């Protein structure tokens, strides 16, 4: 009976298509070799493509004459196991994208195969070579020197683009042929190694006989040495460290006693570094309690999901490490996710300094290094994986736990299709693989905390800092009062005098400015009120081109009022300030200060980030002005003051999460002050001193913040009380984007609203970022209960409305982290 494989084929389809799965015949010569999770090469509309076996079965509905057979199995072929295949199937439903897209997201991009063209000599003898031109001969010589076959691109690189004509001519006259091959871009690195070519006893008697002749003593010595070493042994090491001469090796190879082989080696990014041991402290009571709660919860009560809510500096990392240690004892692996920005040398040193077998995965590794780390994990040579978002897919075979540090960070959400959230993937993976999920944060994401309150996570608290170090002293400067008393500068009197103090005492300060929200909202500088959408409770966005205010959720549009609707003042203006401006003002008011700036402009050059960091740490500057980049992970013991220039920039981002972001940001930025022996001060400047996120940050009270925020979410039906689907159409032709979005929205409204679905369709409206890279963007939002039925409905509408030949791209985001 013929066997069939169900294969997800990597055909380039649009992101909304699900039909990337096809049946193929398993040909006789591959019977028994094809397994679920394997990568194969298959014919697909006249091309050869990479595909992944997601199922094997013994019958098919596809007609005989339509069926094609698997062509071959490339190397390496065992990329996935059945657990990863089930994860991909789940992702494809969850995020409405193809299985191939999900599988490609699970495997490292370096493994994806590309088609390359080779040119080879075929007419060596039979073809008439007598009248070849000089160029032709040169080309043939090069190809022959490469073993008769070379990549077309490589020979063009050697001989120049014009050589293409020569190739074409020689192919025509059947001297050369072109063949194509699918290959991975990156593969294992190989070095030359030496192995015995005889069995051990024969080698020993050879050595005996060498040792009897004084002229062969060296050969005998070398042979004995090689017999005693691990095999195969790197040739270079033999020569350089063991001082065996190359000529001796060559002689032994010629005699057939040794042989030359290739050894695969790992490109270990940290291979040359020694990590000093990271000492294991005695756990505090809180740390011990948390660890107990997790282990008893899992082993005793079958609980799997945990949230550690612990203030900054409470020693969460130590708990993670003890959990990983526990897993090693059980023969299991642990994945530790940290935000990319926190993958500082410090984090890596801690884990490498504590554990023997650690892999590190982040975006600064070279393609080869990333590939090798992945293969090391796959081969089971690693106990702990530390990495950024995509490390959630690390191919460990016996998963014990996934830990997500700073779980509220938005960088855990992918910005490419499939737009997954590492937290969701981790939760599903732990469910499939029966592992423990631990989330950690000082300011958990609202949805996470809500879920914890509803027993979806077991909550573990850590209220105390290690050594009971105090949290910084936080104050608010009311910028409305500054204006009332005639201070029109960007510094409140409080911030001004504290900065003067810092400079006098030769300490350091950080001035923080939110990068996002630049000039996008309109507010009254007298009373602080911000123009908001009456329907959505988010700030209206100012569009300079049309001079209107617009709601990006529902499309509500308004003109800019002449006077403040609340207090009648005429000081209505859009809010705009950038880091450059702050720098100029600092230099104007504090000419004695040495200033550094860390933002997109000053860090675009490679290495600039690090050099600004070191310069400030070495106290080569007194004031560091920066955006989000300065808010996390940086440890400057000399900093005693942090000034938040305009908290309003964060509060008024037109996004229902702006309050949450503000609270998280202030908590995080505040953590930069007072890390040394001197206590720290934080000054928050705002026109909204009574905003709940500001008040709660002042009190450093997460629960106070949570209660306010969750009741607002409930009133306006935002997550966790609803889901949000964001559909964006983008096109170089704005009218086409609008037309497609109009069509989709009309159908969505007709099918969803009042049809048993508990959801609303809002839009279409211009997207908050209305143009990216010459593409105009329009969007529609679905808000409500987004279940599988609704997702299916959305998908089918997009698939049928989406003009495949047209110029419009449709992008779907389910529960986006930001709508601004
Ligand atoms: P968090 O991750 O909660 O912000 P860290 O893990 O960075 O906190 O811990 C803060 C500091 O306390 C670190 O320098 C860490 O080495 C130290 N630390 C952690 N646990 C202990 C302990 N039990 N005893 C002494 N020092 C500890
Ligand atoms: Zn006002
Ligand atoms: Zn609105």
- Residue 484 C-alpha to ligand 2 middle, in angstroms? 12
Indicate if ligand 1 lies below 6 Å from the C-beta of 314. Answer: yes
Position with higher pLDDT, 573 vs 229 = 229
Phi, psi of 337 (to 5 degrees): -100, 135
Residue 395: predicted pLDDT: 95
pLDDT tops 80 at residue 632: no
Ligand 1 pocket, 310 CB below 6 A?
yes
Q: What is the distance in A from the centroid of ligand 3 to the CA of 20?
A: 38
What percentage of the chain has pLDDT greater than the value 70?
A: 94
Coil vs helix vs strand at 401:
strand
Query: What pLDDT band is residue 15 in, cutting at 50, 70 and 90?
Result: very low
- Is ligand 1 within 6 A of the CB of residue 815? no
Is the CB–ligand 1 distance for residue 803 below 6 Å?
no
Residue 341 pLDDT > 50, yes or no?
A: yes
From CA 814, how far away is CA 786, in angstroms rounded? 9
Give the model's pLDDT for residue 620.
95
**Above 50 in pLDDT, residue 280?**
yes
Q: From the CB of 738, is ligand 1 less than 6 Å away?
A: no
- How close is the Cα of 530 to the center of ligand 3, in Å? 14
CA distance 663 to 408: 12
Ligand 1, atom 5: closest residue by C-alpha:
315
pLDDT tens-place string over residues 133-176 = 777 888 888 888 887 888 888 888 888 888 888 888 888 888 88
- Residues 284 and 308: their CA atoms lie apart, in Å, by 15
Query: Does the beta carbon of 286 lie inside 6 Å of ligand 1?
Result: no
For residue 310, the ligand 1 atom closest to its alpha carbon is: 3
DSSP-assigned beta bridge partners for residue 772: 775
**DSSP tag of 169:** H
Q: What pLDDT sits at residue 128?
A: 56
User: What's the number of CA atoms in the CB half-sphere (13 Å) around residue 622?
Assistant: 18
Cα three-residue angle 695-698-701, rounded to 5 degrees? 85
In ligand 1, which atom is closest to the CA atom of 405? 2
pLDDT at 19: 67
Ligand nearest, relative to CA of residue 549? 3
Query: Is the shortest distance between the CB of 281 and ligand 1 below 6 Å?
Result: yes
DSSP codes, 361-379: E-TTS-HHHHHHHHHHHHT
Counting ligands in written order, the one closest to the CA of 550 is 3
Ligand 1 touching residue 671 (CB < 6 A): no
Residue 574 is classified by DSSP as: E
The string of DSSP codes covering 203-220 is HHHHHHHHHHSGGGHHHH
Residue 309: nearest ligand to its CA?
A: 1
Cα(574) to ligand 2 centroid in Å equals 13
Å from CA of 526 to ligand 2 middle: 5
Ligand 1 pocket check for 312: Cβ under 6 Å: yes
Q: How far is the CA of 59 from the centre of ligand 1 (A)?
A: 59
Residue 728 half-sphere exposure toward CB, CA atoms < 13 A = 23
* Per-position DSSP letters for 411-474, written without gaps between them: GGB-SSSS--BHHHHHHHHHHHHT-EEEEEESS--HHHHHHHHTTSSEEEEE-S-GGGPPPPEE
Tokens 């808000």 identify what position?
Answer: 783
Quote the pLDDT of residue 200. 87
Phi first, then psi, for residue 259 (nearest 5°) are -135, 155
Say yes or no to pLDDT of 238 above 80: yes
Q: What is the pLDDT of residues 251-261, one digit of tens each?
A: 999 999 999 88
pLDDT of residue 524: 87
Helix, strand, or coil (residue 539): strand
Ligand lying nearest the CA atom of residue 564: 2
pLDDT, tens digit, 9 for 90 and up, residues 379-401:
999 999 999 999 999 999 999 99
Please tell me the distance between residue 524's alpha carbon and the centre of ligand 2 in angstroms. 5
Of the pLDDT bands very low, low, confident and very high (cuts 50, 70, 90), residue 784 is very high
pLDDT at 13: 54
Which ligand is located closest to the Cα atom of residue 566? 2
Interval between CA 571 and ligand 2 midpoint (Å): 7
Confidence (pLDDT) at 609: 76
Measured CA angle at 406 (ends 815, 641), to 5 deg: 120
How does the average pLDDT of the chain come out, rounded?
Answer: 87
Q: Which atom, in ligand 1's list, is nearest to the CA of 317?
A: 6
Among candidates 88, 116, 16, which has minimal Cα distance to 814? 16
Query: Ligand 1 pocket: which of 290, 350, 466, 633 to mutate (most atoms <8 Å of CB)?
Result: 466
Assess whether the C-beta atom of 698 lies below 6 angstroms from ligand 1: no
Helices (H), 477-595: 479-484, 493-504, 579-589
Query: Does this model's pTM top 0.75?
Result: yes
Residue partners of 820: CB distance under 8 A and separation at least 6: 516, 517, 552, 653, 654, 655, 658, 768
Cβ 541 vs Cβ 768: under 8 Å: yes
Question: Residue 112 pLDDT more than 80?
Answer: no
State residue 158's pLDDT score.
Answer: 85
Q: Residue 407: pLDDT band by 50, 70, 90 thresholds? A: very high
Q: C-alpha distances in angstroms, 439 versus 199, 407, 424, 808?
A: 55, 6, 11, 39
Residue 531 has pLDDT above 80, yes or no: yes
pLDDT digits (tens, 9 = 90+) for 186-195: 777 788 889 9
102-116, 454-468, 499-513, 658-672: which has the minimum mean pLDDT?
102-116
Say if ligand 1 is within 6 A of residue 667 CB: no
Closest ligand to the CA of 342: 1
Q: If you measure from the C-alpha of residue 565 to the centroid of ligand 2, how many angstroms do you get, rounded to a whole number?
A: 7
Q: Is the pLDDT of residue 516 over 60?
A: no
- Whose CA is closest to 441, among 309, 619, 271? 309
Q: Average of pLDDT values for 699-703? A: 92
Distance 314 CA to ligand 3 centre (A): 40
Regarding the beta carbon of 633 and ligand 1, being less than 6 Å apart is answered no
| Burial (CB count <10 Å: 0-12, 13-18, 19+), residue 755 | exposed
Number of CB atoms found within 10 A of residue 156's CB: 16
Contact call for residues 427 and 448 (beta carbons, < 8 A): no
Q: Which residues of 698-732 are buried (b: 16+ CB within 10 A; e: fewer)?
A: bebebebbbebbbebbeebebbbbbbbbbbbbbbe
Q: According to the model, what pLDDT value does residue 110 have?
A: 78
Q: What is the mean pLDDT of residues 179-184?
A: 74
Collapse the DSSP code of 744 into the 3-class scheme (helix H, G, I; strand E, B; otherwise coil) and give the result.
helix
Instruction: Give the pLDDT band (50/70/90) at residue 76.
Output: confident
Mutate to test the pocket of ligand 1, among 286, 315, 464 (most ligand atoms within 8 A of CB): 315
Task: Name the closest ligand to CA 406.
Answer: 1
The structure tokens listed for 773 are: 């890279």
Calculate how far, in angstroms, residue 525's C-alpha sits from the geometric centre of ligand 2: 7
Q: What is the mean pLDDT of residues 110-127?
A: 72
Q: Percent of the chain scored above 90 by pLDDT?
A: 45
317 lines ligand 1 (CB under 6 A): yes
Give yes or no for residue 443 CB within 6 A of ligand 1: no
Strands 548-550 and 541-543: antiparallel
Question: Rounded to the nearest 10 degrees, how much is the dihedral formed by the CA atoms of 499, 501, 504, 505?
Answer: -110
């Amino acid at each position: 009976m013929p066997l069939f494989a169900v294969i997800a084929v990597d055909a380039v389809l649009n992101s909304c298509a699900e039909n990337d799965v096809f049946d193929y015949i398993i040909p006789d010569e591959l019977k028994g070799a094809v397994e679920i999770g394997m990568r194969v090469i298959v014919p697909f509309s006249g091309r050869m493509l990479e595909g992944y076996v997601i199922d094997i079965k013994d019958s098919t509905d596809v007609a005989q004459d339509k069926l094609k057979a698997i062509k071959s199995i490339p190397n390496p072929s065992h990329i996935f196991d059945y657990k990863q295949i089930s994860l991909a199937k789940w992702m494809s439903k969850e995020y409405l994208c193809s299985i191939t897209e999900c599988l490609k997201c699970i495997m490292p991009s370096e493994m994806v195969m590309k088609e390359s063209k080779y040119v080879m000599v075929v007419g060596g003898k039979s073809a008439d070579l007598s009248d070849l031109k000089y160029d032709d001969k040169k080309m043939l010589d090069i190809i022959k020197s490469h073993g008769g076959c070379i990549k077309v691109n490589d020979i063009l690189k050697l001989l120049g683009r014009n050589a293409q004509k020569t190739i074409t001519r020689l192919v025509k006259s059947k001297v050369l042929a072109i063949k194509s091959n699918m290959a991975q871009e990156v593969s294992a690195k190989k070095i030359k190694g030496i192995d015995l070519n005889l069995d051990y006893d024969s080698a020993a008697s050879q050595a005996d006989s060498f040792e009897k002749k004084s002229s062969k003593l060296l050969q005998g010595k070398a042979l004995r040495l090689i017999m005693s070493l691990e095999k195969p042994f790197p040739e270079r090491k033999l020569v350089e460290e063991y001082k065996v001469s190359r000529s001796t090796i060559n002689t032994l190879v010629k005699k057939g006693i040794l042989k030359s082989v290739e050894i695969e080696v790992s490109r270990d990014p940290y291979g040359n570094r020694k990590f000093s041991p990271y000492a294991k402290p005695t756990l505090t009571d809180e740390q011990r309690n948390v660890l107990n709660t997790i282990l008893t919860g899992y082993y005793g009560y079958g609980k799997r999901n945990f949230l550690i809510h612990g203030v900054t500096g409470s020693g969460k990392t130590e708990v993670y490490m003890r959990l990983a240690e526990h897993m090693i004892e059980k023969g299991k692996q642990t994945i530790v996710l940290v935000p990319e920005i926190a993958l500082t040398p410090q984090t890596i040193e801690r884990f490498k300094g504590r554990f023997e077998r650690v892999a590190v995965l982040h975006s600064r590794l070279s393609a080869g290094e990333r590939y090798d780390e992945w293969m090391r994990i796959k081969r089971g040579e690693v106990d702990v994986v530390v990495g950024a978002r995509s490390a959630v897919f690390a191919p460990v075979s016996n998963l014990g736990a996934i830990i997500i540090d700073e779980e509220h960070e938005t960088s855990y959400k992918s910005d490419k299709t499939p737009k997954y959230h590492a937290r969701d993937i981790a939760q599903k993976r732990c469910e499939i693989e029966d592992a423990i999920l631990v989330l950690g944060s000082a300011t958990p994401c609202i949805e996470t905390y809500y879920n914890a309150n509803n027993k979806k996570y077991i909550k573990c608290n850590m209220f105390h800092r290690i050594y009971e170090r105090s949290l910084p002293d936080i104050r608010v400067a009311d910028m409305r009062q500054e204006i009332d008393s005639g201070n029109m500068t960007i510094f409140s009197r409080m911030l001004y005098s504290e900065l003067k103090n810092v400079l006098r005492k030769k300490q350091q300060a950080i001035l923080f400015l939110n990068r996002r929200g630049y000039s996008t909202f309109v507010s009254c500088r007298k009373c602080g009120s911000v123009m908001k959408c009456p329907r959505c409770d988010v700030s209206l966005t100012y569009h300079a081109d049309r001079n209107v205010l617009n709601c990006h959720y529902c499309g509500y549009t308004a003109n800019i009022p002449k006077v403040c609707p609340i207090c009648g003042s005429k000081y209505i203006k859009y809010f705009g300030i950038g880091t450059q401006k702050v720098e100029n003002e600092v230099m104007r008011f504090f000419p004695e200060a040495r200033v550094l700036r860390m933002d997109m402009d000053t860090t675009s050059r490679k290495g600039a980030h690090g050099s600004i960091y070191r310069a400030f740490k070495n106290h080569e500057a007194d004031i560091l002005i920066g955006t989000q980049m300065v808010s996390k992970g940086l440890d400057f013991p000399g900093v005693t003051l942090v000034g938040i220039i305009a908290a309003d920039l964060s509060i008024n981002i037109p996004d229902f999460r702006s309050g949450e972001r503000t609270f998280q940001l202030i908590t995080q930025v505040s953590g930069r002050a007072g890390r040394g022996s001197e206590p720290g001060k934080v000054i928050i400047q705002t026109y909204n001193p009574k905003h709940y996120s500001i008040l709660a940050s002042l009190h450093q009270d997460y629960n106070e913040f949570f209660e306010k925020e969750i009741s607002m979410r409930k009133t306006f039906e935002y997550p966790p009380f609803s889901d949000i689907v964001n559909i964006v159409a983008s096109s170089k032709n704005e009218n086409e984007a609008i037309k497609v979005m109009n069509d989709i929205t009309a159908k969505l409204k007709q099918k969803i609203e009042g049809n048993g679905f508990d959801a609303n369709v809002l839009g279409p409206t211009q997207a908050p970022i209305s143009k990216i890279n010459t593409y105009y963007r329009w969007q529609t939002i679905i808000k409500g209960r987004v279940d599988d039925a609704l997702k299916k409905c959305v998908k089918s509408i997009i698939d049928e409305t989406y003009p495949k030949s047209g110029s419009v791209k449709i992008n779907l985001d389910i529960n986006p982290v930001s709508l601004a």
